[in-house]
Amino acid sequence: MLGPLVREEDGPVPDVSPISRTLRRLGVAKGEHHDEFDAAGLGRHRDTEDRVTSAG
């Protein structure tokens, strides 16, 4: 069982993000990618600032 993955505001930054930890549990391997998020093909959704500004 995995959950909930939270970090206190002033707490240390974990070496692996909650999303990457969850993707690992789902069987995604980092391989040569930056992280599991990229390995799953989700890296193109990492930065969404341009979508927010163009929606206005």
What 3 state SS string does the chain have? CCCCCCCCCCCCCCCCCHHHHHHHHCCCCCCCCCCHHHHCCCHHHCCCHHHHHHCC
Residue 35 lies in a domain: yes
- Residue 27 or 14, more confident: 27
Residue 37 structural domain: 18-46
Q: How confident is the model at residue 42 (pLDDT cuts 50, 70, 90)?
A: very high
- Residue 13 or 31, more confident: 31
Residue 10 lies in a domain: no
Residue 13 lies in a domain: no
Tokens of 52: 């927010």
Residue 32 lies in a domain: yes
Sequence-distant (6+) residues with CB within 8 A of 22 are 2, 5
Residue 5 lies in a domain: no
Count of domains forming the chain: 1
What mean pLDDT, rounded, does the chain reach? Answer: 82
